[in-house]
Amino acid sequence: MNSEAHPSVPFVLSTRAGRTADQPIGFLIATAFANPHIISLAAGLVDYETLPSPETRELMTELLTDDAVGRARLNYGTTLGLPGLRAALLQHFAKLDGQTVGEFGASAEQIVITNGSQQLLALLTEALVDPGDIVITGWPSYFVYTGVLMTAGAEVRCVDMDEDGMVPEKLEKLLADIQSAGQLHRVKIVYIVDYHDNPTGTTLSEARRPVILRIVQKYSANHRILLLEDAAYRELTFEGEPPRSIRRYESNAEAGSHQVALLQTFSKPFAPGFKVGYGLLPRELVEKVGLLKDNLDFGTANMSQHLVFRAMTSGLYDRHVQVLRRRYHEKAKCMLTALNQHLGDFCAGETHWTQPHGGLYVWLTLPEYIDTTRTGPLFEQAIREGVLYVPGSYCYGPDPVRRIPRNTIRLSFGTATLEHIPQGIERLAKAIRKVDRR
Amino acid sequence: MNSEAHPSVPFVLSTRAGRTADQPIGFLIATAFANPHIISLAAGLVDYETLPSPETRELMTELLTDDAVGRARLNYGTTLGLPGLRAALLQHFAKLDGQTVGEFGASAEQIVITNGSQQLLALLTEALVDPGDIVITGWPSYFVYTGVLMTAGAEVRCVDMDEDGMVPEKLEKLLADIQSAGQLHRVKIVYIVDYHDNPTGTTLSEARRPVILRIVQKYSANHRILLLEDAAYRELTFEGEPPRSIRRYESNAEAGSHQVALLQTFSKPFAPGFKVGYGLLPRELVEKVGLLKDNLDFGTANMSQHLVFRAMTSGLYDRHVQVLRRRYHEKAKCMLTALNQHLGDFCAGETHWTQPHGGLYVWLTLPEYIDTTRTGPLFEQAIREGVLYVPGSYCYGPDPVRRIPRNTIRLSFGTATLEHIPQGIERLAKAIRKVDRR
């Protein structure tokens, strides 16, 4: 057989595969593995100590106690998800927005359950985006979604962010410019991580929400633009209630006119190990998303769905979210205190960081002459000091008319311990001062 | 807000979405739901009574007994899968082929764990197939994979099947014809369900395996064609040992020359509820498949992976496979006996069915004048009699030069009980005789 083999003959990859580049996250994970004593403020992972292990053991025993019922849970489910869970999630969405299901203006048939909300981001993009189509994201934005857009061949256009999230005037300006250029028909999605954003940690203010929605409606005169509301971190609000969802502002809209797909997940506010996410879609997209999901798996793991469903109905989920809110609040305060302590007097006016009210991230901006990129001196120096961060440059999409800033950093307090967070910030500050050659 | 909404403005779907049609499976499930007393010989689902519910309860308790270890299982994993599970699956592949891991000529880095093997079919297709590229399948073939090919925009070309599986001479002829037409560069994948095929129930004979491999090698002079070996039903062989995998015939091939991706799953031989599949890939495809999987979910549910891993290491998995082999053997015999009893004397020579040695399916061919399609008289009559089948017409890809037969049926003994199987066949035979107007 070997005589007929062709050792050097390559596979010819598809155009989509050709557009799919290495994710920076792979390099960061490899760096962390290669440096086991490093403190990682890079990983956007969850707090380890609060993962609900004993609780899950109990839930699973309950779920499988009756063998006949247990078997149904080990069997195939349906593509769009467990009906009971979909109904519970619709109630959950309505409750988070302070409405009844009736007021919320949606039905359980519009809920889709996926392998984490990441799969739903990918499915909605596959449903709508052809190569050359335009998708609008924040500047910066969640880099894994930018990867999805690269594979799809989308043109990424970006909108400035400030402490109140995406700036509506800038979104309107961009859409007006695209319209003037005769390219509005190519705009398919406006993507916003609107609670405790990854990477900036900011939340879209209450006042901006209806404004953003109206802008997307305004430019949807000839085809509907999807407003993709990624609310993965919504439930990890530290104190009080976060703003209502953008979707809440179209509760009263007529069926057939919804612009918003609202996405959430069990990975951040419960446990990533089940890989269950979900979303509320405009009715017109549900069937096609289901057919595209048929291609991938005809349904998310039934056992995982039953488990999170039981966690919701038993009250465990709500209790766990409260634990996590307190936990991340404590960790965020710890990181902000350390930043004040170690960088509070560093280049005032040119050094600043965001003040998250939830989620896992702080966004740090340094003076422009400090290069935070992977190939710059700070990244290497930080590793030598024993701390890892995400270069902010990874978080900017390839907007053709913008230049990527080289002086930002994404910090996460998700996975580092309360002991390591201040140590990590201290090391980072030390590295910054060492490379500061002004 | 309503004044600005545009109720009638549609989303404009992508080209991929436009190519993604309703799967026949959706219609069949809806028909079964609408007729609760129907006996379904249509669903390709697993036997219900043998689902390992008490066993899973025990495994889960073990997995989560130590809280610290349990937490790691509830956390994120890695995109390509749990390292221990990947190593165990490599050993599993080698063992099934009667080789040591060393002899098998592969490493655990080539094992990829996915959300069922369906996701791996989709990922490999995404990695290789551009619109207009050619993928070769059996005639008939697994219809969900044909759906994946439709979304990808592939041209599907088909090769005749007989009782020994895909006919090598026909594959060679097709490839030679494509080469003569100057289109060989467009052929990316040859897809074979080579054990207890879905839908035909046949197994590719031992003798044909190296022949098929050599043919694919021969036509890979300028670019490598992937031989996609879907072995989902391999472990459900009723008695004795099934043939070695096609991949086994390239164990000695040099690294960098492998043609075969060998796919298996835990869904059929263990439980579908965990949705864990896996495959051994040519080394050159692993990284790209991982990057494409990053877009979708950056890793299959970690908890599910730990659970099947524990099932393997504890011996439970092997024991359960033995239970299922006996169980499906009994169900297959039951179906074949009923077919003999109720259709043994019907139009001899024109009515025949396959004799599976494993898996879940029997493929029934009726006289040409009996239309088994969804719109034909038999399908309706069968529902009136109280039995549901898969019209064989759903199982033929849209090969542009072939006409789809309208006189075949896929029968499954997977989910129907031992009591219902003979009743179902009796009802089907009754329906056939009623519509027989010759």
Residue B342 has pLDDT above 50, yes or no: yes
* Contact between chains at A74 and B52 (C-beta distance less than 8 A): yes
Query: Are the CB atoms for B55 and A71 separated by under 8 Å?
Result: no
Nearest CB to A296 within list B6, B118, B210: B118
A81 and A111 fall within a common domain: yes
Of B299, B314, B329, the position where a domain reaches its end is B314
Report yes or no on A39 lying in a domain.
yes
Q: Residue B6 — very low, low, confident or very high, per pLDDT cuts 50/70/90?
A: very low
The residues, ordered by sequence, that sit 6+ positions from B157 with a Cβ below 8 Å of its Cβ are B134, B135, B136, B137, B174, B178, B397, B399
For chain B, the helix, strand and coil percentages under 3-state DSSP, each to the nearest 5: 45, 15, 40
Lookup: tokens for B297? 């979910």
- Mean pLDDT for B352-360 is 97
Of B259, B286, B314, the position where a domain reaches its end is B314
B178 and B249 fall within a common domain: yes
pLDDT of residue A23: 76
The conformation of residue B123, written as its DSSP 8-state character, comes to H
Computed over every residue of chain A, the mean pLDDT equals 94
Pairing of strands B408-412, B277-280: unpaired
Which tens digits make up the pLDDT trace of A186-207?
A: 999 999 999 999 999 999 999 9
- Provide the residue type at B225 as one letter: I
Measure in Å the smallest separation between the Cα of B21 and chain A Cα atoms.
Answer: 7
pLDDT of residue B220: 97
Residue A168 has pLDDT above 90, yes or no: yes
A363 and A254 fall within a common domain: no
A45 and A145 fall within a common domain: no
Report yes or no on B127 lying in a domain.
yes
More confident residue, A42 or A32: A42
How many residues comprise chain B? 438
Which tens digits make up the pLDDT trace of B380-427?
A: 999 999 999 999 999 999 999 999 999 999 999 999 999 999 999 999
Contacts of B271 in chain A (CB under 8 A): 74-75, 303
Q: How far is CA A332 from CA A327, A329, A359, B171, B246, in A?
A: 9, 5, 9, 62, 55
Q: Cβ–Cβ contacts within 10 Å for residue B337, how many?
A: 14
A22 and A135 fall within a common domain: no
A173 and A256 fall within a common domain: yes
Query: Are the CB atoms for B307 and B274 separated by under 8 Å?
Result: yes
Nearest CB to B128 within list A14, A56, A226: A14
Residue B356 has pLDDT above 70, yes or no: yes
Which tens digits make up the pLDDT trace of B171-209?
A: 999 999 999 999 999 999 999 999 999 999 999 999 999
Nearest to B208 by CA among B261, B264, B161: B161
pLDDT of residue B7: 53
Which tens digits make up the pLDDT trace of B90-110?
A: 999 999 999 999 999 999 999
B55 → chain A, closest CA residue = A64
- Four-point Cα dihedral A186, A187, A189, A193, nearest 10: 140
Q: Residue A24 — very low, low, confident or very high, per pLDDT cuts 50/70/90?
A: confident
Q: Residue A425 — very low, low, confident or very high, per pLDDT cuts 50/70/90?
A: very high
Residue to substitute from A294, A305, A323, A415, interface B, most B β-carbons within 10 A? A294
B228 and B94 fall within a common domain: yes
Report yes or no on B330 lying in a domain.
yes
Chain B, window 98-137: residues with a beta carbon less than 8 angstroms from a chain A beta carbon: 115-116, 118-119, 122, 126-130, 133
Query: Rounded to the nearest 5 degrees, what angle is found at the Cα of B221, between the Cα atoms of B215 and B226?
Result: 60
d(CA B157, CA A373): 49
Which tens digits make up the pLDDT trace of A96-143?
A: 999 999 999 999 999 999 999 999 999 999 999 999 999 999 999 999
ipTM: 0.95
Which tens digits make up the pLDDT trace of B305-323?
A: 999 999 999 999 999 999 9
Chain B, window 339-368: residues with a beta carbon less than 8 angstroms from a chain A beta carbon: none
pLDDT of residue B357: 98
* Contact between chains at B119 and A296 (C-beta distance less than 8 A): yes
More confident residue, A238 or A298: A238
Residue A58 has pLDDT above 90, yes or no: no
Pairing of strands B277-280, B260-265: antiparallel
d(CA B98, CA B94): 6
Residue A29 has pLDDT above 70, yes or no: yes
**What count of CB pairs under 8 Å joins A to B?**
340
Report yes or no on A69 lying in a domain.
no
A24-28, A306-310, A345-349, A407-411: least confidently modelled range: A24-28
The residues, ordered by sequence, that sit 6+ positions from B380 with a Cβ below 8 Å of its Cβ are none
Place of tokens 């992937």: B226
Report yes or no on A235 lying in a domain.
yes
CA atoms within 13 A on the CB side of A260: 30
Nearest to A121 by CA among B19, B294, B123: B294
B292 and B268 fall within a common domain: yes
Per residue, the 3-state secondary structure of B182-232, as one string, reads CCHHHEEEEEECCCCCCCCCCCCCCCHHHHHHHHHHHCCCCCCCEEEEECC
Domain housing B340: 13-51+319-435
Report yes or no on A70 lying in a domain.
no
A64-73, A252-261, B53-62: least confidently modelled range: A64-73
Report yes or no on B3 lying in a domain.
no
B276 and B199 fall within a common domain: yes
pLDDT of residue A232: 98
* Contact between chains at A71 and B61 (C-beta distance less than 8 A): no
pLDDT of residue A7: 52
d(CA B120, CA B57): 28
pLDDT of residue A64: 83
- Mean pLDDT for B40-44 is 89
Of A295, A315, A335, the position where a domain reaches its end is A315
Residue B270 has pLDDT above 70, yes or no: yes
- Mean pLDDT for A230-236 is 98
B270 → chain A, closest CA residue = A74
B233 and B301 fall within a common domain: yes
Put simply, whether B190 touches A (Cβ < 8 Å) is: no
Computed over every residue of chain B, the mean pLDDT equals 94
Cross-sheet strand order for the sheet of B155-162: B111-114, B277-280, B260-265, B226-230, B187-192, B134-139, B155-162, B165-166
The CATH number of whichever domain residue B268 belongs to comes to 3.40.640.10
Put simply, whether A76 touches B (Cβ < 8 Å) is: yes
pLDDT of residue A69: 78
Contacts of A1 in chain B (CB under 8 A): 210, 213-214, 217, 249-250, 252-253
B178 and B276 fall within a common domain: yes
* Contact between chains at A54 and B48 (C-beta distance less than 8 A): no
- Mean pLDDT for B332-342 is 98
The CATH number of whichever domain residue B27 belongs to comes to 3.90.1150.10
B331 and B280 fall within a common domain: no
Put simply, whether B3 touches A (Cβ < 8 Å) is: no
Instruction: Please give the backbone phi and psi of residue A284, each rounded to the nearest 5 degrees, phi first.
Output: -70, -15
Lookup: tokens for B389? 């089948």
pLDDT of residue B8: 77
Report yes or no on A152 lying in a domain.
yes
Put simply, whether A74 touches B (Cβ < 8 Å) is: yes
Q: How many domains does chain A have?
A: 2
Lookup: tokens for A241? 């209630």
